[in-house]
A = this chain, B = another copy of it.
Amino acid sequence: MAKFETTRVLHFGDCDPAGIAYYPRYFDLLNGVVEDWWDSMGVPWKTLFLERRIGLPTVRFEVDFRAPAFLGDTLVFSLAVARIRGKTVDLNHSVRRDDAVLWRAKQILVPTSLETHKSIAWPDDLRVALTSFQESSYAHHPSA
């Protein structure tokens, strides 16, 4: 299973009056991580959304928050492709601080036409991007 990792520092504006991460901001950070991942695959959202008029709305989330994050924490976001199907991709997210997993999420994304807001089959190049991402990963992680 391929992985994409990146870090975010938890800023003041991400925290709530209890001094811990405000979960809606977690989703905002997560969406940015997914965006950076597509960018790393050579598919910037600017092109995808504004030129090709393809969106990637989320149709399902399952999230488990295990421990709070605090102001100034460095969080490691790790994203893995779990499954690609005709009109969906399943992602597994984990967010760690040092060795502790703070939260996990399963997310299902669906490619859609931004004209009709209906789902579409994965365009070939996007499927290739997702698949090659898996392939290169398998090459490096044969046990995955």
Q: A: which residues have CB within 8 A of B?
A: 9, 11-13, 15-20, 22-25, 27-28, 30-32, 35-36, 39, 44-46, 49-50, 55, 57-68, 70-72, 114, 117
11 A-B residue pairs with Cβ-Cβ distance under 8 Å, sorted by A, are A12-B17, A13-B24, A16-B17, A19-B114, A20-B117, A24-B27, A39-B72, A46-B72, A60-B62, A62-B62, A68-B117
Bound complex: CA of A70 vs CA of B44, how far in Å?
13
Are B45 and A71 in touch, CB under 8 angstroms?
yes
Bound complex: CA of A45 vs CA of B72, how far in Å?
8
Q: What chain B residues lie within 8 Å of A63 (beta carbons)?
A: 60-63
Are A71 and B58 in touch, CB under 8 angstroms?
no
Bound complex: CA of A28 vs CA of B15, how far in Å?
12
Are B18 and A55 in touch, CB under 8 angstroms?
yes
